[in-house]
Structure formats: structure tokens, C-alpha cells
Amino acid sequence: MSDSETCLISQAYSSDLFSAAAGHWKSLLTEHLQRLQAGNSKVLNWVPPDESIASAAQWMNAALAKQSDGPAEGVRKLIAQMLASGQNLHHPHYIGHQVPAAVPLAGLFDAVSSVTNQVMAIYEMGPWATAVEYALLGGLCRKVGWNDQHSSGLLTHGGSLANLTALLTARNVSIADSWKTGIPPGTTLVTNADVHYCVTRTAGILGLGAQNVARVPVDSRRRMDVAALERTLTELRNSGRAVMAVSACAGSTPTGAFDDLKGISEVCRRHGVWLHVDAAHGGALLFSRKHRHRLEGIAEADSIVWDAHKMLFVPALCTAVLYRNRAHRFETFQQDAPYLFDPSAPGMADIDSGMRTVECTKRATGFGLWGLWCLFGEELFEQLVDHTLGMTRHFYQLLLTESDFQTLHEPECNILAFRYLPSELRTASLERQNAFQREVRTRLIRSGEFYIVQTTLDGMAALRVTVMNPLTTTQDLQELLDSLKRAGQQVLGH
């Protein structure tokens, strides 16, 4: 190879260039955090998607490293562009989706892993990543109330993949030989009516057929109705249909409601059915002495999914799948991969993650969580949970004093759905009222003042907040109300 062929390679791998670029990285990110935390910017810098894509494509023609100001300056420009064009979760007015303003320090641990490319599948490729994952799984199992010698699990990329993994395990255990011979027609997945779509989607992926999901109605607190679950399981048994699993919610997506896990587990035990708990959002309450009672009965679950990139405030993605019975960890997949797994060292199969995960090469997802746990101890997670739930309750109480606002539930977690109905809309059609909620939200988020989201409950469109930034204050919440009123008046043409 000629010098000109290799000079970009030596530049790309230069530790001097890395050091100069990392200096820019550090100062730009620090300034960014300072600016956002002071509320000195828009929350979302809204740009229509086609403009964003065109701009990103244009940068790809820039060949910045060849420009006269050099590659480190090119890195600076690129990072500046990324920061200027993203969603600003660290702004205290970000009160939107269930994605947190992650603890910034957690990103530093993730960055070490990215730069050194620590991966998993086999222990040899990521020995410390594997050790960290195992230590975390032990810690999380103990929080559930399990003996970590008898339980087990894995980390994977997000709640959706985690629910799929856990429910595949449930299918293989509940329906004997299904991995090899398939499943009997009519096999059913039973869920809470407010279940996240990634759970019902597994019915299509796992071969049950999307129509074979029985959604159990919710009660007035939007929790799975336990008596209705009993009836559903009895009817399914009487009609000769196998049940793959019951999937309950600990922190439902629309309202953050917690199912009665104790009651549900008793029904499942009686019917001999696998109990899966989607605690992607609410698992973190197990760290809180004040709130962990919401998950009473979770230790009876056969499998649990718990997103650390939600209420444990680490960067996406980091999700635990946990199994009460340690033996179930090898029931998910049944395949040979002799080039990866050494039969002369069978003990390593328990350590090598690849036998138990959808991924072969797997990004080491646990460093952020592990780093925070080591630095601050469990108490940080308890404080994050208690504080964000406290702020949500404060907002709920604020709304109760406002006649133009209607809360749709009492918050059990850090999620609250509500409607804004100025007097002139109270007698309007549901359709008009629904359209108004959406128009107000769009106007609000495009202004960049706040970022909140929307949902639909029983046909009613609603505004929805999730307090996912622990730096959001009571004053910010008061300002949200004021901004909503302003946006509403503009929508109404006043």
C-alpha cells in the first residue's frame, strides 16, 4: 500500500488526534449540559425530518479531516452539530417520553466501552463486561427478593427485545417441544389491556398469531382486573386452548399503573401458568422504601423485564431479563455454535452470554448502571425514584386546583395523563376536544418551551407527562401550566 493509501488510517488511529478531539468533546458537552440545566435553550429544536436528513447527508460530503483547520476541528464541528440538533433531555422542561435525562457520568463509562469496543457473546471478548453484567444481575435479582444463586438473567438491548426474549422462554417452557415442532393452534398470550405494544407484538413474532392475544380489561385504577383474569384463564382452559403466559404490568405505559401482582400470581399459580411481569418502567421502584410496595408479589413472577434506561436514569439501552428459576436461562434458544462455544470448557456456557441472548455480538450495556451503582450506591436510585414521583404528585395536585384541567388518573408512578378543557370546549364533541389536545401539544413542543407527549385512553386523547428529568422543579411545572394555557389560547385564536 502507498503512503497516500495509509495516511488516513494512521490519522484515524492517532492517539494525539484522539486526545485533541476528546478535549473538544469534553468542553462542548460540559457547556451543553450547563446551558440546558440553566434552561437557556429550546427543549426540542424542531426541524422537519427531510431538512434534517438533507443536512446530515450534506455533512457526509464534507471530508472535514482534509480541510485546512484539521481533523480535530472537524470533530469539534461535528459534535457541535450533533448537540445543536438533538432532543434536549437535560433541559428541565423535558417532561416527555419515558426516556430519562440520563445521569451524565453514566455516559462516561459507556464511552470507555465504545472506544475500546468491549463486546459480549463469549467471556474472552468482554471479560470485564461479563463480570459487570453478572454482578448487576445478582444485584437486581436480590432487589426483586430472589436468592441470586437460584435466579438468573441477562442484559439486552431494550424492553422490547427483553420482553420478546422472556416470552420466548415462556413459550418454550409452557409449550413442550415448541422450539422444534412449533405450537398448537389457538395458543394464547394473556395480557393487561394497557400492555405495551412490544408485548402483544411477540404473539406475531413467536408464531401464536396476533389474534391470539387475550387482553384482560383494566379496573378503575387501570390495573388488570384480577377476577376477569381468572375468568379468561378458565374459559381458555375449557375451550382447550393452551396459555403461553400471562403478562402483567408494573408501571404501564399510558398511566404508570401497577397491576396487583400478588393477586395475579395467585391466579397464575392456580392455573399453572407462567407469569411474566413487564416492569420495564416500574422496576426501579424496588429501590425505594417508600414506593416498593407497588410491586408486592413480584417475587412470584417467572420472568421479569426491567429497563435501567428508564427509571434508573442510565443512557439507552440497558435492560435486564430476570428468571426466578435459574434453569430457565437455557430454555430460550436451542442451537449449536461450535465455533463459539468450547465443549472442552462446558462451565463457560453459563458465563458466555451468547447462548442466552438474541444477539451474538452484544454491546456491553451494563457499564453505565454499574458505574453509578459503584459511585453512589443504591441510594442514588432511591432518590431519583422518590424525587421524580414526588414531582409528579405535585403536578397532579396543581392540576386539581385548575378548573380547565382534568386529570385522568391518580399517579402511582411518574406518569400523568390529563386533559386541557377551557370552558368553551367543555360541551364540544369528543372529536373536537381530542383534536384540541393534539393541537395544543404540537404548538407547545414546536415552540421549544416544553416537551410533553400525548396518549389516548378509552378513546379520549390526553396530554401526558413523565417526569424523567430530576432537575425539573415545581416552578417548571407551574410554567408548564402557564405555557399550556398560552398555547391553548393561540389554538383557539384568542
Ligand X SMILES: Cc1ncc(COP(=O)(O)O)c(C=O)c1O
Q: Write out the residues near ligand X by the rule CB under 6 A.
A: 98, 158-160, 196, 198, 251, 253, 278, 280-281, 307, 319
* Nearest distance in Å: CB 307, ligand X: 5
Specify the length of the chain in residues: 494
Q: Given the complex with ligand X, which of 24 and 222 has the nearer CB atom?
A: 222
Hey, what long-range contacts does 262-267 have (CB within 8 A, 24 or more apart)?
Answer: 262/296, 262/297, 262/300, 263/226, 263/297, 264/224, 264/226, 264/229, 264/297, 265/297, 265/300, 265/301, 267/226, 267/229, 267/230, 267/233
Q: Given the complex with ligand X, which of 365 and 483 has the nearer CB atom?
A: 365
Q: Given the complex with ligand X, which of 162 and 233 has the nearer CB atom?
A: 162
Contacts of 237 (CB under 8 A, 6+ apart): 243, 271
* Nearest distance in Å: CB 160, ligand X: 3
Q: Given the complex with ligand X, which of 146 and 258 has the nearer CB atom?
A: 258
Read off the amino acid at residue 87.
Q
Question: What values do phi and psi take at 282, rounded to 5?
Answer: -95, -5
* Nearest distance in Å: CB 196, ligand X: 4
Q: Given the complex with ligand X, which of 161 and 273 has the nearer CB atom?
A: 161
Q: Given the complex with ligand X, which of 251 and 411 has the nearer CB atom?
A: 251
The string of DSSP letters for 107-133 reads HHHHHHHHHHT-EESSGGG-HHHHHHH
* Nearest distance in Å: CB 369, ligand X: 14
* Nearest distance in Å: CB 444, ligand X: 21
Burial class (CB in 10 A: 0-12, 13-18, 19+), 79: middle
Cell of 407: 386529570
- Residue sitting closest to ligand X (CB): 159
Give the residue from 227, 234, 229, 231 showing the smallest Cα distance to 247: 229
* Nearest distance in Å: CB 392, ligand X: 15
Interatomic CA distance for residues 100 and 87, integer angstroms: 11
Give the residue from 99, 91, 101 showing the smallest Cα distance to 42: 91
Q: Given the complex with ligand X, which of 255 and 434 has the nearer CB atom?
A: 255
Q: Given the complex with ligand X, which of 156 and 178 has the nearer CB atom?
A: 156
* Nearest distance in Å: CB 305, ligand X: 7
Q: How far is CA 133 from the centre of its chain?
A: 18
Q: Given the complex with ligand X, which of 35 and 97 has the nearer CB atom?
A: 97
* Nearest distance in Å: CB 471, ligand X: 21
Judge if the upstream peptide bond of residue 317 is cis by omega within 30 degrees of 0.
yes
Give the residue from 374, 377, 261, 379 showing the smallest Cα distance to 324: 261
Q: How far is CA 22 from the centre of its chain?
A: 29
* Nearest distance in Å: CB 236, ligand X: 24
Q: Given the complex with ligand X, which of 219 and 350 has the nearer CB atom?
A: 219
Cell of 83: 448537540
Residues pairing with 418 in the sheet: 407, 463
* Nearest distance in Å: CB 278, ligand X: 5
Interatomic CA distance for residues 23 and 12, integer angstroms: 16
